[in-house]
Amino acid sequence: MNPPATLETPRLRLRLPVADDAAAIFDAYTQDSEVARYTSWSPHRSMDETRKFLDQHCEAGWKAGTVFSWLITLAEGGHAAGMIDFRLAACRAEVGYVLARRYWGHGLMTEAARVVVDWVISQPEIHRAWATVDLENPASQRVLKKVGMVREGVLRRWMVFPNLGFVPRDVWSFARIKETGTRQ
Ligand SMILES: CC(C)(COP(=O)(O)OP(=O)(O)OC[C@H]1O[C@@H](n2cnc3c(N)ncnc32)[C@H](O)[C@@H]1OP(=O)(O)O)[C@@H](O)C(=O)NCCC(=O)NCCS
């Protein structure tokens, strides 16, 4: 798979994150516990943690061809606003995203997720674009619906959200599948 290095929408430019983005990303959201609440990571305590994440998750993922992350920047001004990625597994692509708090509520993640999900599902080898979301995260559930995913059901005790305790929590599974026109 060869995802594009940049994706553009009317208000956003998604591009490869680089080590030099660490300070801007740390300031924008990785240190913010409210942003991290329903994610798999704990808020970063220093810019070095963000730099490590860029190196060990983002850059390593592109190199290995397993996880593809884009920095979400504002088309106007280029400010770092968040991150979106997808993880490949066989015919499936699992999407995850995060947006700096100051940008919430303006439809920006819907815009970013739509361009990524549209691209992913148009790839011949991908038949399922999907995501999991905590039952108590309605804003993200709404984003997933708006990009054409359907709520499938609850995955019980699916994952630990480190900012909400040690017990794995139930999540909704959302997915958009490639319609083949054939009965299964
Ligand atoms: C979830 C998140 C990505 C949403 O980004 P965003 O740019 O604010 O999302 P959008 O503006 O595109 O859409 C949000 C939708 O949720 C709705 N919404 C927001 N808060 C809500 C709430 N408490 N209850 C119900 N709906 C809510 C909004 O009204 C909007 O829907 P609408 O367009 O129909 O009005 C952002 O809040 C975020 O980064 N949160 C922290 C990280 C996170 O939770 N990531 C996802 C993990 S699965």
Average pLDDT on 98-120 reads 98
Q: What is the mean predicted confidence (pLDDT) over 73-101?
A: 98
Question: Which domains, ranges and CATH numbers included, belong to the chain?
Answer: 7-130 (3.40.630.30)
User: Is there a contact between 90 and 29 (Cβ–Cβ < 8 Å)?
Assistant: no
User: What is the per-residue pLDDT across 5-34, written as a single tens digit (0 to 9) for each?
Assistant: 999 999 999 999 999 999 999 999 999 999
Quote the pLDDT of residue 110. Answer: 98
Asked if pLDDT for residue 154 goes beyond 90, the answer is yes
| Stretch 163-170: mean pLDDT | 96
Task: Tell me, in angstroms, the distance from the centre of ligand 1 to residue 123's CA.
Answer: 27
- Percent helix, percent strand, percent coil in the chain, to nearest 5: 35, 30, 35
149 lines ligand 1 (CB under 6 A): no
Q: Helices (H), strands (E): how many in the chain?
A: 6, 8
| CA 141–ligand 1 middle distance (angstroms) | 7
CA distances, 49 to each of 52, 53, 55, 63 (Å)? 5, 6, 10, 20
Using the atom order of ligand 1, give the atom closest to the CA of residue 34: 41
Q: What is the largest CA-CA distance in the chain?
A: 52
pLDDT at residue 180 in the model: 79
Cα separation of 165 and 49, whole Å? Answer: 21
In whole angstroms, give the CA distance from residue 66 to residue 146. Answer: 26
pLDDT attached to residue 184: 45
Residue 83 has pLDDT above 90, yes or no: yes
> In the predicted model, is pLDDT for residue 181 greater than 90?
no
Q: Which residue has the tokens 């990524």?
A: 116
**Cα–Cα dist 32/14, whole Å:** 21
Question: Does pLDDT of 66 surpass 80?
Answer: yes
